[in-house]
Amino acid sequence: MNTGPVGVAVVGAGVISAEYLRTLGTFPDIRIVAVADIVPERAAAAAATHGIPLAGDLPTVLDEPDVELIVNLTVPAAHAQVASAALRAGKHVYGEKPLTTDPADAEKLLAEASERGLLLGGAPDTFLGAGLQSALRAVRAGHIGTPVAATTAVQSLGPEAWHPDPAFFYQPGAGPLFDLGPYYLTALVALFGRVERVAATAARARVRRTVGSGPKAGQSFPVDVPTHVSALLDFASGASANSTFSFDSSHPRIRFEITGTEGTLAVPDPNTFRGPLRVRANGDDAWRELPVRGRTDGRGLGVLDMARAIRAADDPPGRGARDTHRASGALALHVLHTMAAITRSADRAEFTRLPAQVVPPTPLPEDWDPTAVTLGR
C-alpha cells in the first residue's frame, strides 16, 4: 500500500502543461515524478524548467513504479489511447477535456478503470474554483429562489490567433462545442444535475483557417467541425438552458446567467477559477456583488482531489472514498454524451435523449485547502 504524496506523471508537455506543472508543484500531497511527450525535447524542456527528475516517452513513464497517476494533457485525438495504455500499466488517469472524442471509447475507459480498481478523472476542474463554488453556494442559499433556467454563451474568433499549434481545435473532439463546452456543461450539471435531452443547430463560417502566431504562422489548415453551435438543454430536474458555443464571432463575449424564481445570478467565466459573482433579485434595478470564496490555484485542483481519493480508498478501514473525487470520469463522460447528443441533434434536426447516468459532484468544503499536507510523508 502506498502512502504519502501521490506520484504523478504529466503526459503531453504542450501549452497547457505549464499551468498544470506550476499548480501541481504547489500541492504537498502531490509529487511530480515524470513528464512525457512524443516530442522528446518538449518533455526534456518541461522537466528542466520544473525540476522534474524523469523525462521521456509514454512507455518510459509508465514503466516508472513511482508514477501512480497519469495526467493526460495530450491532444484530444490521443486521449483514449494514452489513457488506455496508462490503465493497462496499472496507473490511475486524469485526462484533459474532452475525456475522449467518442463516448464509446470513454465508456470503455471507465469500465477498464473499474475492472482494474483504478480511478479515472477528467477536466475541467474549474468548477472546483472559488467562482463556481461560490455560485453553487449562492444557489443553495436561495439567492435566486428555485433555479429554473440558464443562458450561456461563449464566442470569439477561435484560438488560432494565440495558440502556436491550433489545427486540433478544428478536428473532431474540439471545435467550440468540445473545446469550451465542457466548462459550461460541467458547471450546468453541477448546478442543475444531469441533462435529459438536447436540441441543437450547428454551422461553420469557414472551411480553412490560418495559424496566427509562432513558427507555423501563416500555415492554413482544414476546419472539420462546426464552429457555431446553438443548443437547448433539458435537465432531469426540470430546469433548462440555452447555450451558444462559437469560434465565428468577432465579438468576444462570455455570458453565464442562471434565472430563478426570485432573481438572476451572473456566474463568472467557467473557464476560470475566479469571480466576479453578481445577483439581481426580482425588482432590483442593478446587480449586487456576492462574495467569492475558495481556491483560485488553477488547473490541477481536480487532480489533487483525485489524489486524495486514491489514498483514502487505499486506507484499510475504507472511507468509501473511491468515487468521491469530484472531477470524475463519470461526470466527464456525461458531459461528453451531452456534446455528442448536441452534435447528433444538429445533424438530424431532432431532440436527442441522453443515457440516464451521473450523479452531480458534491460541493467542496468551504475551508478545503490544497496546500495542507493530508497524506503524510
Ligand X SMILES: NC(=O)c1ccc[n+]([C@@H]2O[C@H](COP(=O)([O-])OP(=O)(O)OC[C@H]3O[C@@H](n4cnc5c(N)ncnc54)[C@H](O)[C@@H]3O)[C@@H](O)[C@H]2O)c1
List residues near ligand X by CB under 6 A: 11-17, 36-39, 42, 58, 73-76, 78, 82, 96-97, 165, 179
Q: How is residue 288 written as a grid cell?
A: 449586487
State which residue, 95 or 147, has the beta carbon closest to ligand X: 95
State which residue, 28 or 164, has the beta carbon closest to ligand X: 164
Q: Which amino acid is at 121?
A: G
Cell 480553412 locates to 208
Write down the least CB distance from residue 157 to ligand X, Å: 15
Least CB distance to ligand X at residue 203 (A):
22
CB of 12 to ligand X, least distance (A): 3
CB of 76 to ligand X, least distance (A): 5
CB atoms within 10 A of CB 317: 5
> Given the complex with ligand X, which of 75 and 279 has the nearer CB atom?
75
Beta strands in 89-226 (DSSP E): 92-95, 120-122, 147-155, 195-203, 208-210, 220-222
Rounded Cα–Cα distance for residues 8 and 150 (Å): 37
Of the pair 71, 330, the CB lying nearest ligand X is at 71
Q: What are phi and psi of 299, to 5 degrees?
A: -60, 130
- Output the smallest distance, CB 123 to ligand X, in A: 6
Task: Select 50 or 143, whichever has its Cβ closest to ligand X.
Answer: 50
* Nearer CB in complex with ligand X: 88/319: 88
- The rounded distance, in Å, linking the Cα atoms of 335 and 107 is 12
Q: What φ, ψ does residue 34 adopt, rounded to 5°?
A: -155, 160
Residue nearest to ligand X (CB): 14
Tell me which residue has cell 477528467.
Answer: 122
Q: Is 289 exposed, middle or buried (0-12, 13-18, 19+ CB in 10 A)?
A: exposed
Q: What is the largest CA-CA distance in the chain?
A: 62
Q: Which three cell numbers stand for residue 86?
A: 496508462
Burial label, 19 (beta-carbon count in 10 A; 0-12, 13-18, 19+) = middle
Task: Tell me the closest approach of the beta carbon of residue 15 to ligand X, in angstroms.
Answer: 4
CA 366 from chain centre, in angstroms, equals 21
Nearest CB to ligand X, comparing residues 16 and 232: 16
* 8 A C-beta contact, residue 46 and residue 351: no
Q: State the minimum distance, in angstroms, from the CB of residue 178 to ligand X.
A: 8
Q: How far is the CB of 74 from ligand X (least distance, A)?
A: 4
Residue closer to ligand X by CB (options 61, 239) is 61
Give backbone dihedrals phi and psi of 8, rounded to 5 degrees, phi first.
-120, 140
Identity of the amino acid at 285:
D
**Closer residue to ligand X in complex, CB, 13/229:** 13
CB of 183 vs ligand X, minimal distance in Å? 9
Taking the C-alpha atoms of residue 337 and residue 339, their distance in angstroms, rounded to an integer, is: 6
